Structures are given as structure tokens and as C-alpha cells.
Structure 1
Amino acid sequence: MEEPISRLEMSRRAPLHFWAKADNARMAARYLWDATEAAMADAAKSIGYNSSTTTAAFEAFRRESSLALELIIKAVIARRIEQGMAMDHVTKVRATHDLPKLWKDAQLPELEQLDKLHLLQSGIALHWAGRYAAPLKDEIYERDMNAVEELLEIVPEMKGIKLRRTQPMVWDRFDKIYTIASDSFWRLREQWENGPVVA
């Protein structure tokens, strides 16, 4: 007979708990993306903030959108585990910010190059870049920058200089990646509720 699990452990395993937190973070990200200059100026004035409100809002958007991605991917993983459809090595939702690895654990579709880059950068933002000036160790920075470099698109050579093209995360790009995972979550749930699922 299996021992009963704690209420907190039940929460750690619950797909809908991950989904609800993801949905909240997505809502906050949208609010930050839509923030007007006037609203930001009023908020800055009310607390004596004298730096760039645009930078502050974008950093907050980046953190919330990254968190939303992590949580929706983890919701899919939790759903797959609950339904007995996870890969053999995926026995629990891992406590990691490595979004590309989590994406694979969730068995989500292959992404376009730029989406892979944004997923990687979102994981880096959650791990350190969205919170600290530098990671705990220099080696982490080197590892992360090398991973980013591999995914950057090379711009046709100009005057003997090789440039690489990237784009900052914008709402539409974030929401496209989020929606891929969210749609997968709800499809899995619908299959589970409508009868046996073949893995």
C-alpha cells in the first residue's frame, strides 16, 4: 500500500497548479507589455524613480514572460506524468530553469531557430540575468553565452565583418511559444478525459 503524500507534494505534482501560475505570469507580462509611458511616468514620480521606466518595464516583462514559459512547460510535464505519458527518465517535474531541457522533457514540438534562442534566453533570465548583474560563477556566463552564440543567425558578411542577428523578446514571439505549450497541455487533458490515451 502506497503511503499518502502531503498536501504540498500534491501541489508539486498538480498540472493545474502549474497552469494557473503560468496563466497569472502571462497576464502580468501582458500588463507590463501594454504599460503606457504616462502610467510609467506617474508610477516613477510616485516613488521618486529617476531611471529609465522603459528599461524597468521591459526587464519586468522579460522576467514574467520567462516565468510564464517555465511554468506552462512544467504544466505539460506534470500532465504527461499524471497521464502516464512521460518519457521513462521523466518521473517528476525537475526544479530547474533550463527551459530547452524542460521543453524536451515535455515532448513539445521542435521550435524555429529564433524561438529556440528566446527559450534559451528566457531560461538564462530566470537563472541569473533577470535577477543579478552576473551569475554565481564565471563559467556559467561563458557556458550561457556560448549556447546563445550557437543559436544566433549570421547576417551576410559586410565589409569583412561577420555580424550575428538577434531580436529582443516581444509579446508576439513570447505568446507564440507559450501557446504551443498551452495548446499541448489542453489537448493532453482532453484526451485523458475522453478515454484511454496511447502513449
Structure 2
Amino acid sequence: MAYDLTLRNALRELVNGNAEPLAELVELGYTGNLHETLQHYPEARKKMAKAIRTGKPLERREHPWERHLLDQRDWYLCGRVAYWIGRGMDDRWQDEKNVPDGATVWHYAASEWPENPSDGWPDVPRPAVSSLQKIWQATIRTPDSFRLLNMTHEFCLGVEHELPDIDDAVGFISHQLSKADRLGLMDSIYSKELSAALLKT
């Protein structure tokens, strides 16, 4: 089979969520090389099968604009996880720990995303708590600079908001600085902000 650029381009469009070019070729009877081309393009086979079953080649979250909205949500929620860690909560997964239901950083942060977003919130659903924990772990492994900046800022806010209820402010901040270092937060930001918070006590 000669490399069929026309079909290949139509299948590339399908993979990206636009089934119209392939539909037009099928209507025109331009299908002679379709089977052979699909043999060498597994992602297109997957999307074509999905389009036949559901009428849509992509899940909602796979669309570029949807990915942008999910990124906005994840940016916000990673910041809120950092905030609750800054308040002194444990950032390790707590399946086996004796904690009340819904009393982990993941539950607190996820609950801050509305179940039915409206009034300026990105129109994407609240993640499951287990999904948020995985999002956080992935972000900690490879954070982008803006997300890391937001997480660091939120962590510092959490520390500052907890200080009024702490007897040993110096010890608490020292412990939180160690935690921030382990998480890979931006020391050039949090050392200054936490020092300022300590001076307020």
C-alpha cells in the first residue's frame, strides 16, 4: 500500500476530536486504503471505534479546551492541599490511619470545589478524593513554576492561619519549613513569608 496522506490526515483529525474529514471521505467512497491505514494507526482505531459506539471520538476531558479547564481546577486544588498541609495536617494518604471520615487534606481541599460549578468557576466536576491525591502526587513530582508558586503561597497562608492556635510558634514553623523543603516548595518565597508570620506572633 502506498502511504495515503489524505486518509492519514483525516485520521489525525479524528484522533484530535474532529470526525468530519473522515466522514466526508467515507461518504465519497474514498475508503480503499482505510483498513490498511488503520492497521498502522492504533490511536485512530481506538477513536474510530469510540465514535461508532458513542457518536463522539473524544471523552469530554480529552478536548483541548476541557483540558484547560481541568488544569485551572487542578491548579486551584493543589494550592488548597498545600494550604491544609501548611495548617499542620498530614500529607500522606491515610487509608489505614484512624482519622474520621473526610478529615484528610484531600477531603478538605476537594470539598472547596463546588459540586455544581457556576458564577465564574470553571465548568468541570469536583474530583474524587483519590483522584485529587494522585493529581497532587503528580504535581509534586513535576510541578510547573506557576503552580509551584501558588502552592508555596497557599502553604504559607495555611501556616499563618494556624499560628494563633499554636503554643510553640517557633517549633511549629521550624517543623513546617522542613515539610515545605521535603515537598519541594519555593524556599525563596516561604522563608520570607514564614519569617514575617513568626514576627506577628
Pairwise same-fold verdict (TM > 0.5): no
**Which structure shows the bigger proportion of residues in strand conformation?**
1
Name which one, 1 or 2, has greater alpha-carbon Rg: 2
Report the TM-score when normalising by structure 1: 0.30
The structure with higher relative contact order (CA 8 Å, sep 6+) is 1
Report the TM-score when normalising by structure 2: 0.30
